[in-house]
């Protein structure tokens, strides 16, 4: 027995001239206040396109998980609204929203088989046993777990448990799938493998995924749209390419990594460390090599450099072959520069 899921074709990437996708989820002045202190989420506005993979990214305590839980209905909204396809779901219970949550811990019932875990929500709704098991088996087949349908969670690997958790979330036929740091409990190798699988499933199903993560690498690998949060606010929204190459603020530049933040007479700028030029002499700012790290395909140099508002730490990424031709030693005095197009102005 198959499901429709509204998935005739995976959503295609939009060209600049294409019409914008419909909005799946809209947050309007969404706020969460607790008894004391600053709001956990402070009047944020956000529109998430239908059929897109959106990652909410930021450091611990930035409000990303609270935002996800408010969308899911697992956290009450202090003020503002949550809309799903233009339907206000702010005050609806979680089960009536048209969303499904996939948790970090997978939250599978240890005493039930994979099949019964997936079928559980339909059982609670009173679906006949044959119907719910047929639908559960179909979903397990979709995530390459059909052959393990009779195993219990303790007999499955972490990656297999995640597939079961995904199938269980999909059985309710949600319009939006919410993922709360679903890869953080996996080992690094499996995390990379499961990233690719999540992205493939999202495209094949044609669903909107909203994924919370603290990993910049994970967000850049998965997202169509990255939403970077800090102190309950949204600092920047854009594609991974836009956010990484054109950080809006100093926080974004430092949080995303790979950038040097410098104060020049014209203002504050960010320059990617692979765009920095280094030479023993010549024009540019004076610096001293303080660290040399061999990273295989590249060498990362740490430097103490002159800056308009005092000395600052700078990093330079050199291809291994370039460093081999001209190695730099600890304590060596050098000059740093960059091409003008590679300097990105930061907001004050």
Q: Where are the domains of the chain?
A: 23-245, 259-345
Closest by CA to 226, choosing from 64, 87, 30, is: 64
pLDDT band at 19 (very low <50, low <70, confident <90, very high): low
Helix ranges restricted to H, 15-146:
64-72, 114-124, 129-142
Lowest mean pLDDT among 1-5, 120-124, 203-207, 248-252: 1-5
Q: Residues in the chain, how many?
A: 348
Geometric angle at alpha carbon 188, from 182 and 191, rounded to 5°: 35
Q: Is 5 exposed, middle or buried (0-12, 13-18, 19+ CB in 10 A)?
A: middle
Compute the distance between CA of residue 213 and CA of residue 186 in angstroms, rounded to an integer: 13
Compute the distance between CA of residue 196 and CA of residue 190 in angstroms, rounded to an integer: 10
Please report the pLDDT score of residue 18 as a whole number.
52
200 touches 222 (CB < 8 A): no
- Is pLDDT at 8 greater than 60 in this prediction? no
Distances (CA, A) of 233 to 31, 45, 64: 10, 9, 9
Closest by CA to 139, choosing from 158, 154, 125, 120, is: 120
For the segment 187-201, the average pLDDT, to the nearest whole number, is: 85
Closest by CA to 83, choosing from 44, 25, 31, 32, is: 25
- Residue 326 CB coordination number (10 Å): 10
Compute the distance between CA of residue 322 and CA of residue 256 in angstroms, rounded to an integer: 25
The whole-angstrom distance between residue 56's C-alpha and the CA centroid of its chain comes to 5
Q: Considering only the top CATH level, what class is 23-245?
A: alpha beta
Which pTM value belongs to this model? 0.85
- Is pLDDT at 180 greater than 80 in this prediction? yes
Cβ neighbours of residue 27 under 8 Å, at least 6 residues apart? 44, 45, 46, 47, 67, 71, 80, 81, 82, 83
pLDDT in tens, 284-297: 899 999 999 999 99
Please report the pLDDT score of residue 343 as a whole number.
94
Q: Is 273 helix (H, G, I), strand (E, B) or coil?
A: helix
Q: Is 113 helix (H, G, I), strand (E, B) or coil?
A: coil
- Is pLDDT at 6 greater than 50 in this prediction? no
Fold (CATH) for 259-345: OB fold (Dihydrolipoamide Acetyltransferase, E2P) (2.40.50)
């Amino acid at each position: 027995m198959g499901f429709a899921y509204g998935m005739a074709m995976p959503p295609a990437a939009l060209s600049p001239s294409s019409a914008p996708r419909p909005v799946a989820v809209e947050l309007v002045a969404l706020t969460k206040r607790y008894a004391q202190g600053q709001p956990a989420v402070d009047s944020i506005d956000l529109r998430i396109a239908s059929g897109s993979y959106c990652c909410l990214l930021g450091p611990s305590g930035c409000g990303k998980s609270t935002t996800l839980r408010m969308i899911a209905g697992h956290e009450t909204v202090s003020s503002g609204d949550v809309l799903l396809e233009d339907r206000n779901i702010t005050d609806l219970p979680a089960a009536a929203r048209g969303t499904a949550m996939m948790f970090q811990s997978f939250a599978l019932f240890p005493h039930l088989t994979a099949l019964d875990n997936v079928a559980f929500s339909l059982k609670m709704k009173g679906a006949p046993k044959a119907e719910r098991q047929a639908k559960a088996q179909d979903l397990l087949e979709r995530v390459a777990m059909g052959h393990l349908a009779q195993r219990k969670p303790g007999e499955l690997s972490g990656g297999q448990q995640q597939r079961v958790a995904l199938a269980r979330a999909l059985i309710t036929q949600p319009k939006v799938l919410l993922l709360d740091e679903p890869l953080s409990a996996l080992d690094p190798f499996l995390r990379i493998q499961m990233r690719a699988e999540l992205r493939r499933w999202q495209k094949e199903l044609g669903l909107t995924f909203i994924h919370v993560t603290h990993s910049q690498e994970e967000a850049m690998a998965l997202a169509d749209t990255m939403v970077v949060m800090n102190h309950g606010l949204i600092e920047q929204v854009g594609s991974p390419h836009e956010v990484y190459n054109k950080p809006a603020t100093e926080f974004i530049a430092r949080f995303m990594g790979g950038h040097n933040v410098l104060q020049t007479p014209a203002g504050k700028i960010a320059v990617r460390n692979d765009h920095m030029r280094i030479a023993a002499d010549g024009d540019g700012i004076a610096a001293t090599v303080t660290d040399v790290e061999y990273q295989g395909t590249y060498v990362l140099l740490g430097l103490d450099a002159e800056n308009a508002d005092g000395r600052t730490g700078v990093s330079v990424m050199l291809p291994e072959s370039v460093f081999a031709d001209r190695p730099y030693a600890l304590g060596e005095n050098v000059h740093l520069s960059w091409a003008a197009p590679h300097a990105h102005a930061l907001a004050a």
